[in-house]
Amino acid sequence: MRILIGCMLAVFANHAFAAEAIQREHLAPAGWEGSYHELHYSPVVRLGDRVIVSGIPALEGDTDEAKIRWMFSQLKLHLEAAGASLEDVVELTSFHVAKDHQEFRKRMEPVLKVHREVFKDHYPAWTAVGTTALFSADAPMELRAEAIIGSGRTATAQIPEPASPPAPATP
């Protein structure tokens, strides 16, 4: 019985120590402080080596592509505020304003173009969602991200190229 109680105490103490070891930091890059103080959300939260970036609206620019480029530049600044980089991003969730699937696919074209420039290899997991509205009225999209600090330095991909489709049969 003493051994069982001792083991249980060791497990609980170890769990409590692990919970205390992870510090939660709320961060905001320059210019985003109002998000925390006025809108009451954290632009960036760091938990140990995990970094969570709240949705960044694509706001600045004359075209959707320019707005999307600005958004990705802001993502870089948000990550850097927590000690992470774009190569450390492991997951993206994007929200796109569109009235139907056809418009959604069209609005994805500049996003895909910029995404391919930003993430040249070791692509993050990504979920793209269509919606009718965002908090920021003039934004065509919004992007949230998660990163693990330092993971980009050790990323590997063991994914083979897809097989070529068979040649069409000749009559």
> What is the C-alpha to C-alpha distance for residues 35 and 26, in angstroms, rounded to an integer?
11
Residue 10 lies in a domain: no
Yes or no: say if 24 and 45 are a contact pair by the CB < 8 Å rule.
Answer: yes
> What is the C-alpha to C-alpha distance for residues 41 and 36, in angstroms, rounded to an integer?
5
Residue 111 lies in a domain: yes
Print the domain residue range for 119.
21-151
pTM for the full predicted model: 0.81
- Residue 166's pLDDT is what? 76
- Residue 117's pLDDT is what? 96
CATH of the domain at 104: 3.30.1330.40
- Position 18 confidence tier, pLDDT thresholds 50, 70, 90: low
Query: In the chain, what percentage of residues exceed pLDDT 90?
Result: 69
> What is the C-alpha to C-alpha distance for residues 115 and 20, in angstroms, rounded to an integer?
37
* Domains identified in the chain, total number: 1
Q: Which of 141, 118, 138, 122 is nearest to 72 (CA)?
A: 118
Residue 12 lies in a domain: no
pLDDT tens digit sequence for 106-116: 999 999 999 99
